[in-house]
Amino acid sequence: MSEKVLSGKNVIITGCARGIGKAMLENFAKHGANVWANARSMTPEFEARCAKLANKYGVQIIPLCFDLTNKLEMKSVVKFVMKSDLKVNVLVNNAGVNYNALHQLTAEAVLREQMEVNFFATFLFTQYIVKLMLRNGSGSVINVASSAALDATSGRAAYGASKAALLCATLALSKEVGAQGVRANIIAPGITETEMIGSMTDAVVADTVAGTDMLRIGSPSEIADVAVFLGSDLSSYITGQVFRVDGGM
């Protein structure tokens, strides 16, 4: 996509500080979107990157630094967005945490953290933003799940379950708000070159790559490109779908 397919659109992206979210921030800005960029905490590096990208692509990038698991911070940010002159067109729920361990070795505290961040916080934040979209009569919700939500992989019981819950909620949402002009879709990345690979052994990474048709690891930008498509009018008749971006796992 060479043209600015998101020109005039305003987007909220969570988890922009690194990995896939970092790539999404740049790709959305490159295609003309104004972005509310979420990170857990404000750092000079994050602020500088937002300013640099805004200047480079001629768009607005507004840092939103809050912890998704903190309801008070979340509500404060939603109020801030509501007072803005910009209308929310797209929500990309990308923020999440990863954990790899066998089912029998997964502690309850870890299981609850996976569900809290990957499902509960995302579910609640989506509720707030979809209310704004319904008032406007249009919108696109893009939730980043994982191939682990679709494939029952050994060692990923907690993470896969949290993302599977998100997947189910997204498909239900698409049926509930589609007639009001709001779309909801899922991106399910496979193995991607992010910090999360660090939680996998070299043997597991090699075995996973060998199991893909393309025999390689995906890049964050390749995941971000699909999000750009789903946020644009090029996907105006697409909702309730799961897009596997996994190199053919």
Cα–Cα distance, 129 to 133 (Å, whole number): 6
User: What predicted TM-score, i.e. pTM, was given to this entire model?
Assistant: 0.95
DSSP labels, 215-236:
-SPBPHHHHHHHHHHHHSGGGT
**What pLDDT does 207 receive?**
84
C-alpha span between 213 and 172 (Å, rounded) = 31
pLDDT of the residue at 117: 95
The rounded Cα 99 to chain-centroid distance in angstroms is 17
Structure confidence at residue 199 (pLDDT): 66
pLDDT for the residue numbered 1: 55
- State both tokens at 113: 């953290």
Q: Would you state the pLDDT for residue 156?
A: 87
Q: Residue type at 102?
A: L
Domain 10-190+223-236 has CATH 1.10.530.10: no
Q: Give the mean pLDDT per block of 10 residues along the chain (249 residues).
A: 86 96 98 97 95 98 95 96 95 92 93 96 98 97 95 89 97 98 97 77 82 91 97 98 95
How far apart, in Å, are the Cα atoms of 132 and each of 36, 71, 204?
15, 18, 42
Cβ neighbours of residue 157 closer than 8 Å, sequence gap 6 or more: 101, 102, 103, 106
From the list 57, 99, 128, 159, the catalytic residue is: 159
User: 237 an active-site residue?
Assistant: no
Q: To 10 degrees, what angle do helices 108-115 and 157-177 make?
A: 30
CA distance 245 to 214: 11
Total number of residues shown for the chain: 249
Tell me, what's the pLDDT at 2?
56
